[in-house]
Amino acid sequence: MALREFHTDVDLKGRLLLGGSAGTAGQVPISGGAGAPATWGDAGGGSVLVDADTAGTIYVGTAPSGSSQSAAVWSITRSTFTAAGIRTSKGTATNVTWTGRASHSYT
């Protein structure tokens, strides 16, 4: 099953913004609790995971449905924010593992 392309971003109110190529859009509260990533169900044939830490880093990962978090099939976007909510960086890593998201190189 092909993964549907979604463009992700995070707004200053802590919502994950999803925009699909077919004009779909959504807002998802970011909450995984106790360091666990939040799961946003099915994204047109794929899975979306979100991990927001207290230091201002947010990871949004997409992969085909049923993918293991340790499989190198994830596309992950990392955004960092100041305490005031200003984004200071945004980068993407592809064909990586979700479990290794903190150590991947993002461009």
Structure-model confidence comparison of residues 55 and 93, the more confident one: 93
Residues 20, 100, 86, CA angle at the centre, nearest 5°?
A: 55
Tell me the one-letter amino acid at 21.
S
Residue 20 falls inside a structural domain: yes
Average pLDDT value for the chain: 72
In a domain, 103, yes or no: no
Specify if 42 maps to a domain: yes
Domain span at residue 88 reads 6-96
In a domain, 1, yes or no: no
At 97, which helix (H) or strand (E)? none
- Quote the tokens at residue 65: 């449905």
- Total of domains in the chain: 1
Tens-digit pLDDT profile for residues 42-74: 445 578 888 888 788 999 999 998 899 999 999
* Residue 102: inside a domain: no
Q: With a threshold of 0.95, does the pTM exceed it?
A: no
Residue 14 located in a structural domain: yes
